Structure 1
Amino acid sequence: MAFHTVATGDVQTAAPSVTRRYAWVVFALTFGLLISDYMSRQVLNAVFPLLKDEWVLSDAQLGLLSGIVAVMVGLLTFPLSLLADRMGRVRSLALMAMLWSLATLGCALAENFPQMFAARFLVGVGEAAYGSVGIAVVISVFPAHMRATLTGAFMAGGMFGSVLGMALGGVLAAHLGWRWAFAGMALFGLLLALLYPLVVREKRIGQVRVAHQGGGHPLRSLFNSRSVVAAYVGSGLQLFVGAAVMVWFPSYLNRYYHMGTDQAGAVSAIIVLVGGAGMVLCGILSDRLGRQAPQRKIVLAIAFCAISCLLLSLAFRLPPGTAQLSLIALGMLVTTGTSGPAGAMVANLTYTAVHGTAFATLTLANNLLGLAPGPLLTGVLADHLGLDRAFQLIPLISIAAALVFAFAHRHYHADIKRLRAEEATRC
């Protein structure tokens, strides 16, 4: 039985024509490749000590091997997502997965630093647009009222994949050597890359390609409403807080709980997983409460910002102990909760034909406003005030995020009406 769209404010030009079972198969395979993406990206961190000893590398060289992937993702996310919207998303996803998996296999075969750097460079090229194009494929086969859930779950996959990549990579490296850590990630990705285009077919999911028709070019919808710009900015600002805590929490545990790196890493991994769970759970809550009134999703995003600010600010003013750790976990559960509502807003406020590019724009905003500056500013504040004091101040950024989402809520209804009018002129 095919899905049917409920008449709500969630914009979807046509109901998905695929069956519920096929839609979930598409989600499972696309999500599996996302897990592979982050496992291939983060497995390097698990073998840092082994590479450092075997090749006599500096910490700067190790950092470069890790950072080059992020650099390529930042540079290529937008153009490759736009290309995928034009040439076909399924074909593009399969090619991306094949490239990063073969490049990860190249890491396993590398004999020196330059070869490893070249392989990691190609890993970054392959992974650059996967997240944005992958979520565009997923939301195309589900009803519009599930967009917050799907976006939250998809973004959480990055966290789960990162933890799994480091954990599984460490086990493989300990028992079989660091080369098998890379090889294991590569084989998993190659298997899914070969299977994906056999099961997920462009014609079956009915992708609408970018085309210049009456009513304006679809790319205009990326920035021509106040609500969609506010969604980008609000999402990025809120991730500023989450990224700061995730990156610096192991150091916080080391300095104020006197934990060793192994114990601090394990506790921090739990916090990361809690943040990932928050993306999924808050996305589900947003879709359930906003099914008949989608603007409630924005209200919930505002509430998530405010609650996270309150919980984390209070938590980092408590003395070290179980109460503090419990409150931090609760705070992180809500801090990541805006990912689903923000993704749903972006999907609702842009044309279906450019959803890959729209999510690439959201990814750029998340990186430029949140994932990059959050850890950096926290480090600067820690140098001057101490890490404990920095963590007391960083949650205040959530207030700015809440104000931006409130601005989006004010203009959302009018922007949705205008987009529907434009779509009517294009038909």
Structure 2
Amino acid sequence: MPPITTAAPEKAVTVSAPPRRSGRSRLYPWLVFALTFGLLLSDYMSRQVLSAVFPFLKAEWSLSDSHLASLNSVVALMVGLLTLPLSILADRWGRVRSLVVMAALWSAATMLCAVAGSYEQMLGARFLVGVGEAAYGSVGIAVVLSVFAPRLRASLSGAFMAGGSFGSVIGVAFGGVIAVQLSWRWSFASMAIFGLILVALFWSLISERKLARHAVHDDHANTVDTAATAPSTLERAPISSLFTNPAVLCAYIGGGLQMFTAAALMAWLPSFFGRSYGLAADKAAAMSAIFVLLIGAGMIVCGILADRVARIDPARKWTVAIAVSLAAGVLLIIGFQLPHGPAQLVLLGVGAFFSAGSTGAVTAMVANLTHPTVRASAFGTTTLANSLLGLAAGPFVVGVLADRIGLANALQFAPIVYLGAVAVFLVGKRVYPAGIRKLAALSAAPAQQTEAVE
């Protein structure tokens, strides 16, 4: 992605690029991506395996759909509440160490799910899963972006966040099969073991020292690229700057709203296919896994599209987010209205492809609009909005509605939320130039203060 520039007449801020460090490897950034991505898979495998065993828990413990929804949403709720403070803590305590502790905690908590003897014990274990997963997405993407060129930002963000969908696919598909062949308890246990193995690999191969050596800094002499400039070379921006820029607020809110329906699909499609199409638990899980895979593929493809469309004008990422959200809303609204059958499955599949497609564009816009010294915290705020407005709200609201009007009818209402996302993205696009000017002024302030002192 090209450096951020503005139409403002102010003098461009200049920062000399630090000399490149020796000992950098072209393969190491991809190792960082692979292991961080692998832990993200584990994150969502541990989170979404629950959806595959909904029928077993409902039958064994006589649970309502609201109870099942709470087991799902408590994870997203804890992610929403804790992501920002834990992201700030990770910036100070060490991102690698933080990621290892997070992954170890959610894996151990998933093992507790496997031995839970009641709904209350399961709810407590899922609470701990949420605590462990709270800041992983924000800290993980900050680690990944630190070792890659900024022109790849939307593509990498879309691919990384798609790991949530792929992890959901694996968790739901394998969780359903294991539950049928062995038991639902082994579904949780297998996800926990996988996570602990990845924790050991990550801890042994990734370190803060190696990340610092491979960090990518700005190579442009005349313009500050706020995504690539090393935070250590800049004065730390106030945390309040994450909330005083109207454009970035639109990115937070619009991104959270566009995750509402995608989260509902990932949580409730196994039950939908079981109840509406009469599929057994393992077959319903396999069918829903295809749709969740489409969600992940859409995140990657739409992220790449956003980078290509916005090569000349970064504001076009807003256009991509608007178009993708509108397409998802229309397709899913029509799809859930159709009778059960092939035509419905096709429309739902295409709608699922676009359902979270604006994720890469949203993450890139947040990076464009925030200071590099608080970028991990900015991603934490993005995760907060995604969790509270989407990942927690979507499955819970649909579950509550399902108890009253049935699951199929409840899912018909979920895509309407895309209209709100489109409206927010339209406002964001309008105020984006002012947001860039505000960020430029924030970046220029320390330099001006230094000149005044001299």
Alignment of 1:341 onto 2:361: yes
The residue correspondences of 1:25-424 to structure 2 (distance < 5 A) are 25-46=31-52, 57-59=61-63, 68-107=74-113, 110=115, 112-113=117-118, 119-172=125-178, 180-206=186-212, 217-250=237-270, 252-253=272-273, 256-378=276-398, 391-424=411-444
CA shift for structure 1 position 68: 4.6
CA shift for structure 1 position 301: 0.8
CA shift for structure 1 position 135: 1.0
CA 1:77–1:231 in structure 2 vs 1: closer, same or farther (change >3 Å)? same
CA RMSD of aligned residues (A): 3.6
CA 1:313–1:419 in structure 2 vs 1: closer, same or farther (change >3 Å)? same
- The structure in which a higher percent of residues are helix is 1
CA 1:75–1:209 in structure 2 vs 1: closer, same or farther (change >3 Å)? farther
CA 1:32–1:77 in structure 2 vs 1: closer, same or farther (change >3 Å)? same
CA 1:273–1:201 in structure 2 vs 1: closer, same or farther (change >3 Å)? same
CA shift for structure 1 position 421: 3.2
CA shift for structure 1 position 384: 7.1
The answer for unaligned runs of 5 or more in structure 1 is none
* C-alpha contact 2:47 2:168 (8 A) present in aligned 1: yes
Question: Aligned partners of 1:316 and 1:45: how far apart in 2?
Answer: 20
Corresponding letter in the other structure for 2:27: R
Question: Aligned partners of 1:89 and 1:288: how far apart in 2?
Answer: 30
Question: Aligned partners of 1:413 and 1:321: how far apart in 2?
Answer: 46
CA 1:416–1:318 in structure 2 vs 1: closer, same or farther (change >3 Å)? same
CA 1:293–1:309 in structure 2 vs 1: closer, same or farther (change >3 Å)? same
CA 1:309–1:62 in structure 2 vs 1: closer, same or farther (change >3 Å)? closer
Question: Aligned partners of 1:171 and 1:314: how far apart in 2?
Answer: 31
Question: Aligned partners of 2:410 and 2:187: how far apart in 1?
Answer: 36
Question: Aligned partners of 1:178 and 1:112: how far apart in 2?
Answer: 12
Question: Aligned partners of 2:91 and 2:130: how far apart in 1?
Answer: 20
Deviates more, 1:21-30 or 1:413-422: 413-422
Deviations 1:241-268 (A, max 9, x none): 3234444445554565455555444322
CA 1:418–1:204 in structure 2 vs 1: closer, same or farther (change >3 Å)? farther
CA 1:383–1:116 in structure 2 vs 1: closer, same or farther (change >3 Å)? closer
Deviates more, 1:267-276 or 1:371-380: 371-380
Corresponding letter in the other structure for 2:258: Q
CA 1:183–1:280 in structure 2 vs 1: closer, same or farther (change >3 Å)? same
Percent identity (aligned)? 53
The answer for the alignment partner of 1:21 in structure 2 is 27
CA 1:313–1:355 in structure 2 vs 1: closer, same or farther (change >3 Å)? same
The answer for the alignment partner of 2:445 in structure 1 is 425
Deviates more, 1:280-289 or 1:354-363: 354-363
CA shift for structure 1 position 278: 0.7
* C-alpha contact 1:212 1:218 (8 A) present in aligned 2: no
* C-alpha contact 1:88 1:209 (8 A) present in aligned 2: no
CA 1:360–1:169 in structure 2 vs 1: closer, same or farther (change >3 Å)? same
